[in-house]
Amino acid sequence: MIHRLISSTIRLCILVIGIILLGLPALAQAPAPAQTPPMGWNSWNHFACQVTEADVRAAADALAATGMQQAGYIYVNIDDCWQGQRDAGGAIHPNSKFPDMKRLSDYVHARGLKLGIYSSPGPKTCAGFEGSLGREELDAQTYAAWGIDYLKYDYCSFQGDIPAQIAAYRKMHEALARTGRPIVFSLCQYGMDRVWAWGPAVGGNLWRTTGDISDNYDRMAYLGFGQNGLERFAAPGHWNDPDMLEVGNGKMNGDEYRTHMSLWCLLAAPLLAGNDLSKMSAETLAILTNPEVVAVDQDRLGVQGQRVAQEGQLEVWVKPLADGCKAVGLFNRGESPMPVTAYFRDVGVGDAAAVRDLWQKRDLGVFHSSFTAQVPSHGVVMVKVKP
């Protein structure tokens, strides 16, 4: 009897070791996440604290039904306000608006999408819900068991100097890594203390470089155009994050939303739609999914664009692409339509270059030494320049 028990225990051990060994190469080969800027949807900008499981399901359905998923939007991210209480063992449970996280993640995964969640290194989240302070290991295990693929970790009530912040973010990164599940790690502490300089070292795949965006041209422009100079901190796996998209939330016009989208793509910024996807206009969908504009964001070279020329309210931004072309944004931040010129010496191409309008999806011909376009107020003309 004892003999049989020992031999079946040994067999079980061999099986478990075998599974672990077989699994190791798979883990080692799993591609690091966020090789291009993450794309998806996040609940905050539209639903804020009202978000429910039904809203998240509807967002997943809409990503699949509208073609956004095919355009690259694959993360369905729940922001703040999903948290309930901890049980006697310390495990976090969702509140009544999210009755069953595993069921929700199965629903999202069944559509070929990925599920994201939100917490804080502090005791409380920004909306006053339960944070992860002191519970990092357990929370990471819980998220992995639910099938979570992305964590936004928001500073909120955390208190501490830079070394303390670094330690707090690293602690959650290490807890996530120990789950063995690839989970995109999104740092959110509003760009304080040069987070871009230490974000990669604490396992951040992206880090907010700014305070919160709002659905307002001036705020969006202040954040987006303010990114110049941060380009050397972005690279595949590690992105500057000037906050989520407001496209389609209704307080900017089409030109302003095209400026928002063009700028974020030139910046190689994460593209997290923040509108109600289940009630989207054709124009909103076209802005979010223009394949030639999205391709600039997702270009595998992974270089963040920068401003190469500025004259008053007119700005020219350039992002080098893997195929040797340059994506160029001609922006007019002024209050009336203006011609904007991109000089090829600023763009970094020779004297003659072919120009294609990315919003119009139209070749404009070969130009010599410069390209000029009439740009609407608060608008953009975005082109690809082929040397």
CB of 149 to ligand GLA, least distance (A): 18
Q: Is 215 a catalytic residue?
A: no
Q: How far apart are CA 359 and CA 382, in angstroms?
A: 7
CB of 154 to ligand GLA, least distance (A): 5
Q: Based on the shown chain and the rule CB under 6 A, indicate whether residue 246 belongs to the binding site for ligand GLA.
A: no
Which one, 251 or 345, has the nearer CB to ligand GLA?
Answer: 251
Q: How far apart are CA 53 and CA 103, in angstroms?
A: 10
Q: Is 276 a catalytic residue?
A: no
Report yes or no: 209 and 264 within 8 Å, Cβ to Cβ. Answer: no
> What is the amino acid identity at position 43?
S
Report yes or no: 121 and 168 within 8 Å, Cβ to Cβ. Answer: yes
Q: Based on the shown chain and the rule CB under 6 A, indicate whether residue 292 belongs to the binding site for ligand GLA.
A: no
CB of 156 to ligand GLA, least distance (A): 6
Q: For residues 319-378, which are near ligand GLA according to CB under 6 A?
A: none
Q: What is the token pair recorded at 371?
A: 């390209």
Q: For residues 207-236, which are near ligand GLA according to CB under 6 A?
A: 212
Contact window for ligand GLA (CB under 6 A) among 99-107, 123-131, 138-146, 290-298? 123-131
For residue 17, which phi and psi values (nearest 5 degrees)? -60, -40
Angle (nearest 5°) at CA 203 between 197 and 209: 45
Q: Based on the shown chain and the rule CB under 6 A, indicate whether residue 188 belongs to the binding site for ligand GLA.
A: yes
Q: Based on the shown chain and the rule CB under 6 A, indicate whether residue 271 belongs to the binding site for ligand GLA.
A: no
Question: Three-state SS for 310?
Answer: strand
Which one, 44 or 344, has the nearer CB to ligand GLA?
Answer: 44
- Binding residue for ligand GLA (CB under 6 A) from 154, 215, 256, 315? 154
Q: Based on the shown chain and the rule CB under 6 A, indicate whether residue 44 belongs to the binding site for ligand GLA.
A: yes
Q: Based on the shown chain and the rule CB under 6 A, indicate whether residue 127 belongs to the binding site for ligand GLA.
A: yes
Q: Which of 55, 80, 139, 154 is catalytic?
A: 154
In the block, residue with structure tokens 């994506």: 327
Please give the span between the terminal C-alpha atoms of the chain, in angstroms, as a whole number.
79
Q: Based on the shown chain and the rule CB under 6 A, indicate whether residue 130 belongs to the binding site for ligand GLA.
A: no
Under DSSP, the state recorded for 156 is T
Q: Which of 61, 212, 255, 346 is catalytic?
A: 212
Q: For residues 72-91, which are near ligand GLA according to CB under 6 A?
A: 79-80
Which one, 188 or 327, has the nearer CB to ligand GLA?
Answer: 188
Report yes or no: 37 and 299 within 8 Å, Cβ to Cβ. Answer: no
CB atoms within 10 A of CB 323: 10
Contact window for ligand GLA (CB under 6 A) among 14-22, 121-129, 130-138, 161-169? 121-129
Residue 111's alpha-carbon distances to 102, 134, 138, in angstroms, are 14, 34, 28
Size of the site for ligand GLA (CB under 6 A): 9
Q: How far apart are CA 10 and CA 7, in angstroms?
A: 5
In the block, residue with structure tokens 């080098």: 320
Applying CB under 6 A, which residues contact ligand GLA?
44, 79-80, 125-127, 154, 188, 212
Task: Point out the residues that are catalytic.
Answer: 154, 212
